[in-house]
Amino acid sequence: MKKIFAGWLACIMMLSIFAQTAFPVAATEAAEEYKLVKLEANRSLFSLTEARTVEVQADFGEDVDLTQLEWTFGGKSISEWKKWTSGTNYNGAPFITVKKEPHFVDGTTTIEATLEFGLLFNSSDLSNRTIRTQYQQFIGDYELALINSASKMKAETTVKLNVYDEFLFYDQIKPAIDQIFAQATSDPANDRYLEYQSLGKTVQGRDLHFVILAKSKNAVDKYLNETLPTALEDPESLIKKLKSGAMGDYQVPIWLNNIHPDEVEGIDTSVELLRKFALEDEVTFITGKGDKERTESLKVDEVLDDVIFLYMFTNNPDGRVANTRANANGFDLNRDNHYQTQVETQQVTQEIAKWTPLSFVDMHGYVNGFLIEPTTPPHNPNYEYDLLYNTMIDQANAMGQAGIGNSSLTSYFIPAEAWEDGWDDMSPAYTPMYAMLHGSLGHTVEVPTLSQNSFHAMVGVGLGATKFVTDNKDKLYKNQLEIFARGVNGEDNRAVDEYFVNAKGDSIGRVRGEHANFFPDYYVIPTDEKEQKNKLEAYKMVDYLIRNGVKVEQTTKNLKVNGTMYPKGTFVVSMKQAKRGLANAMLYKGENASDWAAMYDPIVVSFPELRGFDVQEVRDPGVFANNTTKVVKVTTPSGEVVGNAPKQVLANSNNDTIKLVNELLKNNVVIERATETKAGVTKGDFIVSTKDLQLYGKNYYFEAKPLGTSNQVKTEQLRQPRVAATGSSQLNFTLEELGFNLVKPEDADVIVSYGGAINGDMLSGKSYVGIGVTAMNAVKNTGLLPGFDYNRTANGHEGLFKAVVNDHVLTSGYQKDELLYSTTGAWITSVPNDADVLASFSDSDDFYVAGWWPGHERAKGQTLAFTKNFEDTTITLFANDLAFRAHTQYSYRLIANSIYASVGSEVIKKGKGKGKVKGKEGKTQNNKVEESFFEKGRDRD
């Protein structure tokens, strides 16, 4: 009864939602002036992507002058409804036309007419980005009326205008789900198991809707509590059962996903497929075209004998509401499934790890053609590609054939077969690629248009995938179990090597170097001060691995391995486990793919280097055997005040310390910063009273030691900095995460910029921190820094490289030799007089470690960053990206140090630098730099 009531309530809510976007005020006022009669219409639903006619009838009860009748739509004359022409202009041809003028029927007073609702945007495809930001304002309920002004009578009805029939706003998704649940539970013959969950909340507090559809609750429990744990721990036992036919009744998960909510069909497809499989007994569909066309049938109860459906309607509800690709923080979540800096991806990837789906379909748009993965090379070597590729090709064909059969599309293509490069799966950023690290058949599917037709094609994709899995379940599951078995056995099977090729097409296999096995036996994550430079990030990494389904252990006693003493409590990741590929993808340094002419997105993940903690490979089988215990959960450490001295020295060693310093400054606590290295205090360390640290430091991790009378050093007092950020919402996110106050540029002490026009007057009395090639180009074009120049290959070339870091207060907390990261493909060729060089690219032949940067050798030995003081400002430039997608967290303190330099009492004052900053005014048009490789091109998904 509760579910039936919930369904009834959902219907009321849906009507309420529709009403919110419905009648204009003019229509309400008109209702008070006219006597109303019913306008009968043979359809009430119209589409922005499909021209439709409607036949209407009205009876005013009298003979009227037909020439005096007027049509209105939404309270406006239909003559006012014009088609879109460009920009935000709607001044084209009529949107609504009268195909058959009003006329009487057989001598009666009944009037008939035919109207056509055309294509408001002159196209059945609304994927154009300009149109995509506008069309949703027209979705809603409208009054369609025929008015007889002479008698003050109006024949009216309510119709709906939608982009395509099934489109739902975010607030309509849950009511639609509830309605399906209510219909299912109200049918006594329907005993299918339906479960709704909210996986968590978005940045703006919306629910992440998730639905499980299965044969029964027992089927779900058996999979999660018996089948999957056995698959991960003892996959060979299940392989034997499959071979012998003794496997019995079992189900495998199919996950349906959308992560770019402005690529709208995916969300509504999931609702439609839920409706079909939850409510219908048999689902039929057409697959193929022409001579290959045939009708397929899915008997739903038989389907549920084989599969469990998992519906992740959208990973980005805030984006669905705002009609944007990015989430509320400005992040493309389909570039965050590996980094997991955003709350939405953290929650969704945890659920993917929990379920480990067999088939994963991520629904997107829009490219030139109907695209279905698998991808072009290069492929991430952490996939067991020989066990994925062929069945992914087969599933892609099954989905493609059903997609064209279910729509008027005539063809589809598979990048792996159609293209040479440019649509690779080297990066595990994309949701399907992340799922492949769990042994899933991971597919990005791109419909070509935003339209009714593409919606039908995407529904076909879901039906085709389902049919393929049910037809081939044992074979597909055996392959997934083989992936797990290789992991559990530590096997580096050479069958994968043919799939890993260079740009010439030659097989290079996994790059093993001097080792026989691509994978180490263990990764060790130390926690002791001697072996670990950042204990906080080490704990965060362990939490990340556990959340993503990787087993982590902890030593139960002190162990000496290969000359290194690991204290009790050291974290150990054995690579003999089912999901070793995922662990390795995040922990190893990566690949050098610079020989390829095109890559889709950054390929370096390397948490140890980009987050800044120590991890060690151990290639010695069994050295930790019987000396570890499983880690189920970790609690990140907090800082401790040491000793009873009046003051404490905070090491500038991690981002939590920066957050703590900003918290202290906001509370008017006196903070000093060391300006020299002396007597155990390092230049750039922070000094604070012990009492204040005890009061405010409880929720932060910091490394403190007492400041004794014997180690007094020169210091400067800091004040709370006012920071302006320009050029990137993700930079804003980074600075706010670090606890900085963001203000307008005119109110700032320091401007941190990813680019944009600047001038000398703008910088007077402020500091400027420019990050990346666009910011360097802006500075160069203004002439503010005579003697400064830079060069680049292309913005978007990326890589992990060896750097030499000079001793400076702005580089406090970093070692002389570091591994740093760039996505800007740039380097500094000339440094102004009296500038301090902060860091340079190493001049060693092996300075470039991993990534995709054709021409990176030109950066060898070049300057990476410098700072120059003037009388009234300081300009600091970094050629690399310090806040890329919130993953380069090890570089954050370079930004923070530069900001603090702007508010230290000894930094900017007359006489420190030479002269005032001068130069021509920056012009926006002069600051144009090649658009980032990662922000243009196809809508990858």
Q: Which of 256, 298, 299, 243 is nearest to 474 (CA)?
A: 243
- Here the CATH number for the domain that contains residue 848 is 3.40.50.880
Asked if residue 849 has pLDDT above 80, the reply is yes
The answer to whether the bond into 366 is cis (omega within 30° of 0) is yes
Residues 360 and 444 in one domain: yes
- Chosen domain end from 664, 684, 718: 718
- Answer whether 715's CB lies under 8 Å from 678's CB: no
pLDDT of the residue at 907: 41
Q: Does residue 28 or residue 235 have the better pLDDT? A: 235
Question: Which tokens go with 698?
Answer: 């409880």
pLDDT of the residue at 922: 40
Average pLDDT in the 661-673 region? 97
Residues 733 and 664 in one domain: no
In a domain, 377, yes or no: yes
Q: Which amino acid is at 699?
A: N
* Least confident segment among 250-259, 432-441, 672-681, 758-767: 758-767
pLDDT of the residue at 25: 36
Residues 200 and 150 in one domain: no
Counting residues of the chain whose pLDDT is more than 90, the rounded percentage is 89
* Least confident segment among 11-15, 202-206, 884-888: 11-15
Tally of domains in the chain:
5
Measure Cα distances from 176 to 136, 166, 263, 266, 274 in Å.
19, 11, 19, 15, 10
Sign of CA dihedral 17, 21, 27, 32: positive
d(CA 265, CA 456): 9
DSSP 112: E
pLDDT tens for 718-755 read: 999 999 999 999 999 999 999 999 999 999 999 999 98
In a domain, 130, yes or no: yes
pLDDT of the residue at 120: 98
pLDDT of the residue at 203: 98
In degrees, rounded to 5, the angle at the alpha carbon of residue 420 between the alpha carbons of residues 417 and 425 is 80
In a domain, 442, yes or no: yes
Measure Cα distances from 120 to 87, 165, 409, 649 in Å.
14, 15, 22, 66
In degrees, rounded to 5, the angle at the alpha carbon of residue 866 between the alpha carbons of residues 588 and 895 is 60
- Answer whether 376's CB lies under 8 Å from 600's CB: no
Q: How confident is the model at residue 916 (pLDDT cuts 50, 70, 90)?
A: low
pLDDT of the residue at 679: 83
pLDDT of the residue at 923: 37
Range of the domain at 902: 722-935
Q: Which of 702, 558, 534, 542 is nearest to 614 (CA)?
A: 534
In a domain, 494, yes or no: no
Q: How confident is the model at residue 710 (pLDDT cuts 50, 70, 90)?
A: low
pLDDT tens for 425-457 read: 999 999 999 999 999 999 999 999 999 999 999
Residues 539 and 599 in one domain: yes
Q: Which amino acid is at 584?
A: N
Is beta strand 153-162 parallel, antiparallel or unpaired with respect to 35-41?
parallel
Residues 308 and 426 in one domain: yes
pLDDT of the residue at 4: 34
Residues 800 and 904 in one domain: yes
Residues 709 and 845 in one domain: no
Contacts of 515 (CB under 8 A, 6+ apart): 619
Q: Average pLDDT of the chain? A: 92
- Answer whether 655's CB lies under 8 Å from 672's CB: no
d(CA 820, CA 146): 69
* Least confident segment among 184-188, 524-528, 936-940: 936-940
Q: How confident is the model at residue 181 (pLDDT cuts 50, 70, 90)?
A: very high
141 has which bridge partners? Answer: 160
In a domain, 686, yes or no: yes
d(CA 489, CA 6): 50
Asked if residue 910 has pLDDT above 60, the reply is no
d(CA 480, CA 339): 25
- Answer whether 751's CB lies under 8 Å from 874's CB: no
Measure Cα distances from 288 to 293, 394, 401, 455, 499 in Å.
4, 14, 5, 17, 29
- Chosen domain end from 129, 162, 195: 162
- Here the CATH number for the domain that contains residue 305 is 3.40.630.10
Residues 190 and 336 in one domain: yes
- Here the CATH number for the domain that contains residue 36 is 2.60.40.10
pLDDT tens for 797-848 read: 999 999 999 999 999 999 999 999 999 999 999 999 999 999 999 999 999 9
User: At 401, which helix (H) or strand (E)?
Assistant: helix 389-405
- Answer whether 110's CB lies under 8 Å from 57's CB: yes
Global pTM? 0.93
pLDDT tens for 242-281 read: 999 999 999 999 999 999 999 999 999 999 999 999 999 9
Sign of CA dihedral 478, 412, 256, 4: negative
Residues 699 and 806 in one domain: no
- Chosen domain end from 718, 752, 770: 718
Measure Cα distances from 657 to 454, 536, 660, 698, 713 in Å.
51, 10, 5, 12, 20
Q: What is the DSSP string of 231-276?
A: HHH-HHHHHHHHHHT---S--EEEEEE---TTSTHHHHHHHHHHHH
In a domain, 827, yes or no: yes
Residues 222 and 362 in one domain: yes
pLDDT tens for 570-601 read: 999 999 999 999 999 999 999 999 999 999 99
In a domain, 326, yes or no: yes
pLDDT of the residue at 9: 36
Residues 713 and 726 in one domain: no
Residues 753 and 899 in one domain: yes
Asked if residue 20 has pLDDT above 60, the reply is no
In a domain, 506, yes or no: no
